[in-house]
Each structure stands twice: as structure tokens, then as C-alpha cells.
């Protein structure tokens, strides 16, 4: 095509002139131009886009916004959130340690496994005994008494029962959450208002149950239901202390380990642990001597072996009486639950008691003179006899309190063994002196969830600012 002097060159059919803007059907822009437009753009897919089509930047994962050259603040938060949604990092592994310490690792794992399960059982027993005691006190409180415990407890029971029933019924009816909540609140008010109307219901029945548990059952040997709670609390404290000692998270004075040089930390730790073991052993023996003298009538001038023999013999007798009392409980439970009294006159007689003494092994634990003293006389064979496992010392009230006091002795001794076991694990390289070294925050699932929640909140805040 001819050119005019000083004029502009017209585009030919084969391409575009230099500096001219391409039409919608022209060749795609250069890679450099695309990169200047958006740093996040990706190359076109030749299998999906024709050679002459315009390359489009890759769409962002967020809806309603195209990627920009300068990445907004929300993008960093979303990247953090994406990284947190990856599988949780594995927990930090303990060092292998020396070969001779591996048996102690197995012992420590088995011991912890056992203590955790005992701990759960103790907690359940403690909660059960306390709830049962409160419930029986409230339900058996006489109507004529000045105490308001009966009305208060019935009001609480009625409020819980009616509100829960109302919540489920309204859910079955398809009501929304607001209406269900209002209905449940109304149920609570109804339960409180209706409490005086059934104040006298169950007083006699629950009074019989309470009387049996407090005066004629195995709980009597522990000091009734409140005594059971007290003894279980002591056991719970020692099990928790033992678990803390196993992981090095017990209460201790570690100022020496914090300020000494690294090469002196192990010797200081060894001396500190040995001193702790010695203290626990001394405390265990001190409690044993005190309990043996005050509770088991041992003489202060007796040798250690003599005191141990007296305590061992008395504990064996106490446990024997406990087994016998459990048998009485099993026979009394159906009668009491059915509405009867544990001490009804037709339940047990002197003749049955004498046969019971000869058939249940009393003579294996007590002397013939003691057993003969427990027998009912000939003139009282057909009269009523309390169905209790009575020993030579009398009725079984508080019989096992002295045995349960030995939990102080056993608890301190087991703690000494726990400290000694931890010392062996540290010396063998299977545990660290620092309890915090066993904890990796980055591997904690709870911390991982907290960081994920924080990232979600930061992403929402950053997105809101970007929209504004």
C-alpha cells in the first residue's frame, strides 16, 4: 500500500503497527504487560483458550473481588487461615534415652494408666456421695420442721424436670429457639411455684432410705455419707499429687535450677529429688506411727515390726467386717427400696445371728472367747437383732475410719516412689528435668484451634475494612 508523506501508516491485514492498540479480536498482550497488570495472573491454558484470545488473570478464591497488584490486608489473613487448616503438626517426640531406662518407662506408663482410672472412679464416687446426701436431706426433711430444705430441694427438682420436659416437647412441636427458651423459663417458674404443693410427698419413704444408709449400711463404717466424701477427698488429693509428681508439675522450689549453670543442673536436680523422696518417706512413717498409736492402740515403746503387726491384724479384721456388712446391705436393699425399714423386727433374730456367726468365718479372725461373747443368749433367740456386722468392739459405726486414715501413710509413700521413678527416667534420658520441656505449644490441639479462630476473626476484620 502506498504511503503518504508525513502521514500515519495504516494497519495491514497481517498485523498491527507499532504502538497501536490491539482490537478485541487481535493478538493477546505480551507476558510483560500481563504481569504489570496483575502480579497474580497466570498464563492462559492453551487447551482451553485460542491463540488469538486475550489471556485472563486467574480468579481469586474470594468471591466478588478481582486480584490486585497490591495484595489487600485480608489476603495475608486468609493465607494464615489456609495454613492453619492443614493437618495439625505432630506432637514432639520424647528423646529415646538409654536402654536400661526403658523398663522404667513401661512402669511409668502403666502406673499413670492405673492412677487415671482410679482418679475417675474416686471423682464419680465423691460426686455420687455428695449428691445423694444432699438429696436425701432434702427429700426426708419432716414437714413440721422449721427447715426450708424440703421446699427448696423440691423446687429445684421440679424446675429442672418441668423445664427439660418443656424444652423437648416444644422441640417436637417445631417451635423456634426463642419460643422454646421462653417455654423452658416458664417451666422453671412452674416448678418453683408447685414445690409447696408436694412438700410432704416421699418424706417417710426417703426417711427410711436415709436411715438405712446412715445407720445400717456399709457407709456407716466410713462415718456415714459425709464421712465417705471426706475420705474420698483425701484419696483424690494424693492421686492428683502423684500424677503431678510423675510429670514434674508438682509444687516445688526450683530457684536453684533456674540460676545455676547448665552443667550443674543435673546434680542439683538429683540432690533435690533425693531430699524430696526422703521427706515423703519420713512423712509416711510419721503418719503411720501416729495412727498406729492413736487409732490402733499400739504402745509408743513398741518396735516398728510390732506396730506393723498390730495395724495389719486390725485392718484385716476391719475388711472382714466390711465384707460381712456388704452381704447385709445386699439383703436389705430390696426390702428398703420396696418401702420397708432396714430394722424391721421380722427381718433378723438372735437365732439367725448365732447361725451367722458360725457360718461366715468369724472364728477365723477373732478368738473363740470373742465370738462367744457376740452370741445371743438362750433367752433372746427369738427376739429382734439388728442386721449389722458387729465385732468385738461393738457396732460398726466409724469402724473403717482408722483404716482410711492410713491413706496418708500410703499416699506419701507412693509419692516417694513416684519421685524416685522420675529421677530414674531423667537420668536415663527419657524425661527432661524441666516439666515445660515436655510441652510443645505448637503441637497442642487446643492452641492450634485458638490460633485458627484468631485467624478467622482477623480475616473477617480485614475483609470488612477492605469493603469500607
pLDDT digits 0-9 by tens, 114-143: 999 999 999 999 999 999 999 999 999 888
- Whether residue 97 is contained in a domain is answered as no
d(CA 302, CA 296) in angstroms, rounded, equals: 13
- Among 254, 236, 280, smallest CA distance to 435 is for 254
d(CA 190, CA 165) in angstroms, rounded, equals: 12
- Whether residue 94 is contained in a domain is answered as no
CA 433 to centroid of chain Cα atoms: 26
Report field, pTM of the whole predicted structure over 0.95: no
Tell me the average pLDDT across 90-111.
Answer: 78
- Among 165, 163, 136, 141, smallest CA distance to 151 is for 141
- Confidence (pLDDT) at 76: 55
In this predicted structure, the answer to whether residue 62 has a pLDDT above a threshold of 90 is: no
Lowest mean pLDDT among 65-69, 194-198, 240-244, 461-465: 65-69
Tell me the average pLDDT across 309-328.
Answer: 95
- Whether residue 464 is contained in a domain is answered as yes
d(CA 465, CA 88) in angstroms, rounded, equals: 30
Lowest mean pLDDT among 73-87, 298-312, 402-416, 450-464: 73-87
- Whether residue 167 is contained in a domain is answered as no
Q: Which residues, 6 or more positions from 401, have their beta carbon under 8 angstroms from its beta carbon? A: 221, 222, 223, 227, 231, 295
d(CA 156, CA 33) in angstroms, rounded, equals: 75
CA 172 to centroid of chain Cα atoms: 33
- Whether residue 211 is contained in a domain is answered as no
d(CA 237, CA 414) in angstroms, rounded, equals: 13
d(CA 281, CA 243) in angstroms, rounded, equals: 17
Domain that holds residue 455: 436-468
pLDDT digits 0-9 by tens, 343-394: 998 899 999 999 999 999 999 999 999 999 999 998 889 899 999 999 998 8
In this predicted structure, the answer to whether residue 83 has a pLDDT above a threshold of 80 is: no
pLDDT digits 0-9 by tens, 157-192: 999 999 999 999 999 999 999 999 999 999 999 999
- Whether residue 169 is contained in a domain is answered as no
CA 336 to centroid of chain Cα atoms: 34
* Integer-rounded Cα radius of gyration of the chain: 40
Q: Domain total for the chain? A: 1
- Whether residue 427 is contained in a domain is answered as no
pLDDT digits 0-9 by tens, 235-287: 999 999 888 888 776 555 555 566 667 788 888 889 989 999 999 999 999 99
In this predicted structure, the answer to whether residue 24 has a pLDDT above a threshold of 80 is: no
In this predicted structure, the answer to whether residue 70 has a pLDDT above a threshold of 70 is: no
- Whether residue 371 is contained in a domain is answered as no
Amino acid at each position: 500500500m502506498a504511503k503518504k508523506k508525513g502521514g500515519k501508516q495504516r494497519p495491514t491485514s497481517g498485523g498491527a503497527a507499532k504502538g497501536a492498540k490491539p482490537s478485541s479480536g487481535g493478538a493477546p498482550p505480551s507476558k510483560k504487560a500481563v504481569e504489570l497488570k496483575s502480579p497474580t495472573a497466570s498464563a492462559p491454558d492453551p487447551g482451553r483458550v485460542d491463540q488469538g484470545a486475550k489471556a485472563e488473570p486467574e480468579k481469586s478464591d474470594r468471591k466478588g473481588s478481582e486480584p490486585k497488584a497490591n495484595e489487600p490486608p485480608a489476603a495475608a489473613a486468609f493465607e494464615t487461615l489456609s495454613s492453619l487448616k492443614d493437618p495439625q503438626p505432630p506432637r514432639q517426640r520424647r528423646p529415646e534415652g538409654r536402654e536400661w531406662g526403658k523398663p522404667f518407662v513401661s512402669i511409668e506408663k502403666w502406673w499413670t494408666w492405673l492412677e487415671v482410672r482410679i482418679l475417675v472412679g474416686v471423682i464419680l464416687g465423691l460426686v455420687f456421695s455428695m449428691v445423694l446426701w444432699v438429696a436425701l436431706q432434702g427429700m426426708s426433711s419432716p414437714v413440721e420442721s422449721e427447715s426450708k430444705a424440703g421446699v427448696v430441694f423440691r423446687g429445684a427438682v421440679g424446675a429442672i424436670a418441668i423445664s427439660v420436659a418443656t424444652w423437648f416437647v416444644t422441640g417436637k412441636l417445631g417451635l423456634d429457639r426463642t419460643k422454646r427458651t421462653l417455654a423452658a423459663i416458664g417451666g422453671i417458674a412452674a416448678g418453683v411455684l408447685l414445690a409447696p404443693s408436694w412438700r410432704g410427698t416421699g418424706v417417710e419413704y426417703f426417711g427410711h432410705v436415709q436411715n438405712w444408709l446412715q445407720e445400717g449400711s456399709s457407709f456407716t463404717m466410713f462415718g456415714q455419707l459425709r464421712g465417705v466424701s471426706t475420705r474420698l477427698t483425701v484419696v483424690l488429693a494424693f492421686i492428683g499429687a502423684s500424677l503431678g509428681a510423675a510429670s514434674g508439675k508438682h509444687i516445688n522450689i526450683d530457684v536453684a535450677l533456674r540460676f545455676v549453670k547448665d552443667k550443674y543442673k543435673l546434680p542439683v536436680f538429683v540432690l533435690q529429688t533425693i531430699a524430696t523422696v526422703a521427706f515423703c518417706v519420713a512423712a509416711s512413717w510419721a503418719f503411720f506411727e501416729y495412727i498406729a498409736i492413736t487409732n490402733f492402740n499400739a504402745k509408743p515403746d513398741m518396735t516398728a515390726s510390732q506396730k506393723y503387726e498390730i495395724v495389719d491384724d486390725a485392718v484385716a479384721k476391719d475388711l472382714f467386717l466390711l465384707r460381712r456388712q456388704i452381704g447385709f446391705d445386699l439383703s436389705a436393699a430390696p426390702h428398703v427400696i420396696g418401702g420397708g425399714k432396714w430394722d424391721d423386727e421380722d427381718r433378723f433374730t438372735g437365732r439367725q445371728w448365732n447361725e451367722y456367726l458360725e457360718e461366715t468365718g468369724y472364728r477365723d479372725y477373732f478368738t473363740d472367747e470373742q465370738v462367744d461373747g457376740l452370741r445371743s443368749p438362750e433367752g433372746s433367740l427369738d427376739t429382734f437383732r439388728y442386721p449389722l456386722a458387729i465385732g468385738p468392739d461393738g457396732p460398726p459405726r466409724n469402724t473403717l475410719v482408722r483404716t482410711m486414715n492410713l491413706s496418708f501413710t500410703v499416699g506419701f509413700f507412693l509419692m516417694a516412689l513416684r519421685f524416685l521413678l522420675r529421677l530414674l527416667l531423667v537420668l536415663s534420658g527419657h524425661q527432661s528435668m524441666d516439666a515445660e520441656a515436655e510441652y510443645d505449644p505448637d503441637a497442642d490441639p487446643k492452641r492450634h484451634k485458638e490460633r485458627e479462630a484468631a485467624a478467622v476473626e482477623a480475616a473477617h476484620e480485614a475483609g470488612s475494612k477492605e469493603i469500607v
